[in-house]
Structure 1
């Protein structure tokens, strides 16, 4: 047989064999078993180069990543999930079981210093100052007018008896600026008192009581009931802004530095662990991984064959060798 004919025959046989292999679950099972046998005891640090991985991720964040390019896909997925969640009867109690809530509460109760700082920051916010000042003013005004407190002052009662109650209102109007000025000057002291009162009230026992009461109230509620209140148009707007912010933040030196540090820390942490140990720690057996993935891989290959995608790819893979001078020399040597 001529060398060219033999090469073509070998190429065609190899293509057919490889295409059939990729559609057989047994092939993927054997391949994964072989990989496990070779890699199971090798520390992951020897299989991954942290520097190269960090460089790839950094380049991806800087040049390739674009959430805006997938904005429509993200929107479609979000709307589909949102619609499904609106129809789901799951309750908050099912999503966060009581034992998990208790574990979170136990950890939260240990954050007393952080709790006191949060109270201090909240009470010193300008908006809170204005709100408390306005509440105090309204309370004082209502007390003086509606409870007839001014009528008890000397000289005022006689005016009211004469039917001139409007004079009281005018007197109160004249006091408005003075009251407001006084409250604004002394609001810091008032808020400090409020802060001390809150810290005294927010004992661990009180927080436990409030938290457990709140959990029991919301546990029977359904997230679906609240999701239905959000206008659908809002979702698209939020995703649009989220993608824009995501693209910009991904390119920040700050983000890239933190991602790089995180990747290196992950690799360093895993570097001493073999694959087998890692899977065992994750409570995943190799047999289970094989059972889940091998049928999916084989089915995926069959689908690619049906779509006419796999065969051209296989041909491209084998062509490099069968079209090479090295292959021709081997065949010619055998023929001679």
Structure 2
């Protein structure tokens, strides 16, 4: 394409004007606020449909796997927070308000129905029954072998063992097996007794005070105590396991349907609301636009100008305009 000297001077003049104009902070602020004032008045449905929003979320979150770099960064940040020097001088009470702890304790203690259902589910679990059976058997055996009477009174220990042997010979039954069968036969009764005792021990009042006492024990501990319960060196593996779980869930039809229906419900509630209100839900208002976002965008704009990127892109579009047939006809009149 043959260059026209006059057009080139016009393009250079316009580019110089843009450089000077956008180099001024007031220009950027004015343009950004003008855009914000327009954008804030637009209803959600005027700009984006439910299908567009859902497709974006489905693609970027559910269909796109998390990179190994991201999971590595997550593990590094967790490790950094756990080994931070401030953890040694910061008590748990410094970061968790006591009033919130009290509210949580009251809330948990008030859920008696939930608690009773949980206790019932636990005590009726076969694993709990097996544990109780073994515990009682061990307690009986331990009492027979190590009771105070058996140890302090000479001959009692031998007498108890002899009595056990005689009983087994007379009944032709192993005593341990007999006790085991008795416990298994009556395990339902023991489970019911356990449920009753647990419900008594963890009533609303006692559970609240249990939580309060626990708080008083841990509130002065340093945050660094968390390292006693989290293996820092295992974080890459544990975060990796979490990633495997997420990687499976994100591809499931279940989560896809949950996300679809959740986004749809949100969209229906908000489709007629302007972005001004939607942004306020995220604590973004005009003051934030004027102060914080402008401070972030101004260095970016200055870099676009100083690196000649803005000038090069503007030149490409101006050349297309000035060398177009329509512009050529105007310039030759």
Q: Deviation above 6 Å: which 4+ runs of structure 1?
A: 148-151, 161-165
Written as runs of structure 1 = structure 2, the 5 A alignment for 1:9-28 is: 9-15=9-15, 17-18=17-18, 24-28=24-28
Say if 2:41 and 2:274, in contact at 8 Å, map to a contact too: yes
In structure 2, how many angstroms separate the alpha carbons of the residues matched to 1:62 and 1:275?
Answer: 26
Deviates more, 1:55-64 or 1:142-151: 142-151
In structure 1, how many angstroms separate the alpha carbons of the residues matched to 2:112 and 2:208?
Answer: 13
In structure 2, how many angstroms separate the alpha carbons of the residues matched to 1:251 and 1:85?
Answer: 39
Q: Secondary structure at the match of 1:323?
A: helix
Distance apart, 1:144 and its partner CA: 2.7
Q: Which protein has greater RCO, CA pairs closer than 8 Å, 6+ apart? A: 1
In structure 2, how many angstroms separate the alpha carbons of the residues matched to 1:236 and 1:33?
Answer: 44
- Could you state the TM-score of these two structures normalised by the residue count of structure 2? 0.81
Q: Secondary structure at the match of 1:235?
A: helix
In structure 1, how many angstroms separate the alpha carbons of the residues matched to 2:157 and 2:283?
Answer: 88
Distance 1:267 1:321, change over 3 A: farther
Specify the alignment match of 1:146 in structure 2. Answer: 146
Distance apart, 1:251 and its partner CA: 1.7
Number of residue-to-residue matches in the alignment: 326
Distance 1:13 1:215, change over 3 A: farther
Q: State the Cα deviation string for residues 165-222 of structure 1 (Å, max 9, x = none).
A: 7645756994111112221222221011111222233222222211222222222222
Distance 1:125 1:16, change over 3 A: farther
Say if 1:91 and 1:221, in contact at 8 Å, map to a contact too: yes
Distance 1:134 1:199, change over 3 A: same
Say if 2:123 and 2:129, in contact at 8 Å, map to a contact too: yes
In structure 2, how many angstroms separate the alpha carbons of the residues matched to 1:161 and 1:102?
Answer: 53
Distance apart, 1:97 and its partner CA: 0.7
Say if 1:91 and 1:222, in contact at 8 Å, map to a contact too: yes
Specify the alignment match of 1:154 in structure 2. Answer: none
Distance apart, 1:232 and its partner CA: 2.9
Say if 2:123 and 2:195, in contact at 8 Å, map to a contact too: yes
**Is 1:330 paired with 2:327?**
yes
Q: State the Cα deviation string for residues 86-122 of structure 1 (Å, max 9, x = none).
A: 7453322222212222333343344222211111112
Q: State the Cα deviation string for residues 59-83 of structure 1 (Å, max 9, x = none).
A: 3345433343533333333333333
Distance 1:294 1:111, change over 3 A: same
Written as runs of structure 1 = structure 2, the 5 A alignment for 1:127-142 is: 127-142=127-142
In structure 2, how many angstroms separate the alpha carbons of the residues matched to 1:299 and 1:316?
Answer: 18
Specify the alignment match of 1:124 in structure 2. Answer: 124
Q: Secondary structure at the match of 2:84?
A: helix
Specify the alignment match of 2:189 in structure 1. Answer: 189
- Could you state the TM-score of these two structures normalised by the residue count of structure 1? 0.80
Q: State the Cα deviation string for residues 8-29 of structure 1 (Å, max 9, x = none).
A: 4444455555556666543332
Say if 2:150 and 2:156, in contact at 8 Å, map to a contact too: no
Distance 1:186 1:6, change over 3 A: farther
Specify the alignment match of 1:4 in structure 2. Answer: 4
Say if 1:3 and 1:335, in contact at 8 Å, map to a contact too: no
Distance 1:234 1:146, change over 3 A: same
**Is 1:242 paired with 2:239?**
no
Where in structure 2 are there 5+ consecutive unaligned residues?
169-173
RMSD over aligned Cα, in angstroms? 3.6
Written as runs of structure 1 = structure 2, the 5 A alignment for 1:1-336 is: 4-15=4-15, 17-18=17-18, 24-68=24-68, 70-84=70-84, 87=87, 89-147=89-147, 160=155, 167=162, 174-227=174-227, 230-278=230-278, 285-303=285-303, 308=307, 311-312=308-309, 315-316=312-313, 318-320=315-317, 322-323=319-320, 327-336=324-333
Distance 1:7 1:268, change over 3 A: farther
Where in structure 1 are there 5+ consecutive unaligned residues?
152-156
In structure 1, how many angstroms separate the alpha carbons of the residues matched to 2:247 and 2:314?
Answer: 36
